Amino acid sequence: MQTLLVLLGPTGVGKTELSLKVAEHYHAPIISSDSRQLYRDLVIGTAAPTTAQLQRVQHYFVGTLALTDYYNASQFEDDVVAKLAELRPTHPTVVMTGGSMMYIDAVCKGIDNLPTVTPELRNELQALFEKEGLDPIRAQLKLLDPQHYDEVDLMNYKRVIHALEICLMTGKPYSSLRTSPKKERPFRIIKIGLNRDREELYARINKRVDIMMEDGLLEEARSVYPLKHLNSLNTVGYKELFKYFDGEWTLDFAVEKIKQDSRNYARKQMTWFKRDKDITWFNPDDEGEVMGFIENLLVAE
């Protein structure tokens, strides 16, 4: 049976280099489970694989979409399952790495069947958002589903509004509806979580933002600024710089906000991942332990 090695963890932890080494060892391609690396114009701000890294290992789902393309976790589930079936005859082992929680769960567990939201409710919440902003919607979500409130990206207005829509439609917390049985998959899944001490992780995140700025993140953000209304650009690293371009923030303050929002996102990622008891955790610097763990499981198969 084909094996999908899933290397996951918070932003900035060090997934990329270890996943490359694992993929090279098993002559395996890499599937990116980063929902923003899908977009071809967000290279620096999403820490997308470099040209050299792409040459080392075949990657899929990196730079395949235009910023105007619509894409979601359900589509990702279908596309990855199809890609794995295509790779199965030639690749008994495939690596999937990234930190987009819903995208990883979509492949490993399947997307839950959620109720259709009525146009009346959707229009009502959209009108509230346009009149009063996201704060009252966040407040309702916190009241109706505190668990999901702690996990969701509170700056992503579409996800916040959608979660509240489901709460109001069903009378149940959105988080309680994401509990359907796992879908059966024609491949084996091994989940490897990568994490570091909080202070070390936060220092790495801060340093990575500085490196991104040195590498041209400001210019990259400026090049996509005319499309800032798109959901694909409601992304840490870009939305903060848009505030600078709009004259609302200084550049130094915007950069500090990128660091803060990245750290907050890492915390939410870990809150989400810690619920999954199928994940075995390692420090990404312990390459030998990770390799040994994988090898023992593959040999025992």
Between 174 and 286, where is the model more confident? 286
pLDDT-derived band at 178, boundaries 50, 70, 90: low
CA-CA-CA-CA dihedral for 176, 177, 183, 187, to nearest 10: -60
In sequence order, the β-bridge partners of residue 32 are 97
Containing 84, the helix (H) or strand (E) segment is: helix 73-87
d(CA 213, CA 44): 9
The pLDDT of residue 152: 85
- Give me the mean pLDDT over the 151-158 stretch: 83
Residue pair 5/28 in contact by the 8 Å Cβ criterion: yes
The pLDDT of residue 118: 82
Instruction: Give the mean pLDDT of the chain.
Output: 93
* Alpha-carbon dihedral sign for residues 51, 10, 150, 248: negative
> And the tokens for 73?
């976790």
Find the radius of gyration of the CA atoms of the chain.
Answer: 19
- For 95-120, write each residue's pLDDT tens digit: 999 999 989 999 999 877 667 788 88
Examine the pLDDT at 27 and tell me if it is beyond 80: yes
- Give me the mean pLDDT over the 39-56 stretch: 96
The pLDDT of residue 169: 80
- Give me the mean pLDDT over the 55-81 stretch: 94
Residue pair 33/96 in contact by the 8 Å Cβ criterion: yes
- Give me the mean pLDDT over the 244-260 stretch: 98
d(CA 91, CA 1): 10
pLDDT-derived band at 5, boundaries 50, 70, 90: very high
The pLDDT of residue 14: 96
The pLDDT of residue 175: 81
pLDDT-derived band at 172, boundaries 50, 70, 90: confident
d(CA 250, CA 229): 21
Domains of the chain by start residue, with CATH: 2-111+180-300 (3.40.50.300), 119-177 (1.10.20.140)
The pLDDT of residue 171: 83
The pLDDT of residue 180: 63
The pLDDT > 70 percentage for the chain reads: 98
The pLDDT of residue 295: 94
The pLDDT of residue 214: 98
Which residues does 251 contact at the CB level (< 8 Å), separation at least 6?
218, 244
